[in-house]
Amino acid sequence: MNHEFYIKQCYLLAKEAQKNNEVPVGSLITQNNKIIANSYNSPIKLNDPTAHAEINVIREACKKNNNYRIKDSILYTSLEPCLMCLVAACEARIDLIVFGAYSSENKNIEDKFKYIKENYKIDHKLSFIGGILEKECSLIIKDFFKSKRS
């Protein structure tokens, strides 16, 4: 598996989100090393606060598989997933999440997941690999918010 290749694709999707004035996050899902779904953030465009890139690709992949589970899959995303997206990935039975930028300097996705599992009795096992193309994925987010404050 070439995680860097897929995160680069997520980065390009994030650029599409940025063009639409959305927070620049892109995601895709693979099964058997093939991309089965890809998307980017679109809560503003869709008037839907749940339209995160990760949720969008989970919905698309479920439709393509005609199943609410996406077993034997990997979720790639340019930014560490939020709690909503982590739980959605568990419910979809995704095996691994690979992401680019961390959402905070604490780099605590394992702690977030542990909290969810312990407090909400989630029994799915999910693995993580973070920091792939971290600089590029972090910079696009930082630049986006910097331009909003200018």
pLDDT per residue over 69-118, tens digit each? Answer: 999 999 999 999 998 999 999 999 999 999 999 987 767 788 888 888 88
Burial of 42 (0-12, 13-18, 19+ CB in 10 A): buried
From CA 59, how far away is CA 37, in angstroms rounded?
9
Find out whether 97 and 75 touch, Cβ atoms under 8 Å: yes
Condensed to tens digits (0 to 9), the pLDDT of residues 44-68 reads: 999 999 999 999 999 999 999 999 9
Active site residue 80: no
According to the model, what pLDDT value does residue 1 have?
65
Q: What is the DSSP letter of 28?
A: E
The identity of residue 5, as a single letter, is F
Q: What percent of the chain has pLDDT over 70?
A: 99
Mean pLDDT of 115-122: 85
Closest by Cα among 135, 112, 108 to 122: 112
Catalytic, out of 4, 22, 54, 110: 54
